[in-house]
Amino acid sequence: MKRVFRTVLLLFLLFLGAIGPSFAQEEHQAALVVDFGDGRVLVRVVSFAEDTISGVDLLRRSGLEVAMVSGGVGTAICAIEGVGCPPTPQECFCACQGGTCRYWAYFHLRDGEWVYAGRGAADRRLGDGDVDGWVWGDGKSPPPLRTWEEIRAASRALPPIGPSVPGTLPPAPAFSPGRASPVPATPLPSPAPSLSRPSPTVPAEAPSPPGGTPAGAFPLASALAWGVTVFLLLGLAFWIRRRR
């Protein structure tokens, strides 16, 4: 009988050790506000287990269609939801070839105000409650100002972006010249009335997508299975003891 209880106790301790790291991880949230410059504004709230994630990770995990290229000098965002140019070094900056320039201007929400980003999305670190904004334009106008509560409410009210979800944006159209979004990972200049044409020096190699389940996370289904197993074993041991 003592052997049965020792076995059950060992299984229970193994169960606690397996799920401990999972319960110790606190879920964090950061938000994304995307202004297409034509009246459309999309809001997404992204949950993550890490302490911080990069601005590029926030875009990737938002469910939005994002086209980008990266290399030794950083990451360039070429298009969001089809607004932009093909993700190649030669074409990613096609809207900044004349006297005017339209691109995906990058902002951070700080102390209730939008601040133009001083560095690229790859270098940006977001923690719990942080907000990033992207605007398709000349860099002078920030996204619409919203509180964290308004952002979360808007995110819950919208279905995930996807070509098969009714009521969302249609599939991304073919890229056309005059729609681009250069956002390098190196420090960005302050917005100016006239932006010079950027130099497309980013290699064509695209970054690999982030992993699914964070390292150390214990799947909920496995935790439940372990819990049921331990409960049944405890019940069996109690029944055997009562029978004797």
Note the pLDDT of residue 65: 95
- Would strands 131-137 and 103-110 be described as parallel, antiparallel, or unpaired? antiparallel
> How many angstroms separate the CA atoms of 111 and 107, rounded?
13
- Confidence class of residue 2 from pLDDT cuts 50, 70 and 90? low
Pair 1, 244: CB distance under 8 Å? yes
Are 128 and 108 found together in one domain?
Answer: yes
pLDDT in tens, 193-205: 333 333 333 333 3
Are 222 and 183 found together in one domain?
Answer: no
Are 15 and 41 found together in one domain?
Answer: no
- Confidence class of residue 40 from pLDDT cuts 50, 70 and 90? very high
Are 180 and 221 found together in one domain?
Answer: no
Please say if the pLDDT value at position 5 is more than 80: no
Based on the structure, what is the number of domains in the chain? Answer: 2
Note the pLDDT of residue 195: 30
Mean local confidence (pLDDT), 28-50: 94
Are 228 and 149 found together in one domain?
Answer: no
User: Which range scores top for mean pLDDT: 59-63, 148-152, 235-239?
Assistant: 59-63
Contacts of residue 108, Cβ cutoff 8 Å, sequence gap at least 6:
114, 115, 117, 124, 130, 131, 132, 133
Longest dimension (CA), the chain: 91
Note the pLDDT of residue 214: 37
Residues of the domain holding 224: 2-25+217-243
Note the pLDDT of residue 7: 58
User: Which range scores top for mean pLDDT: 53-67, 145-159, 204-218?
Assistant: 53-67
Mean local confidence (pLDDT), 32-51: 94
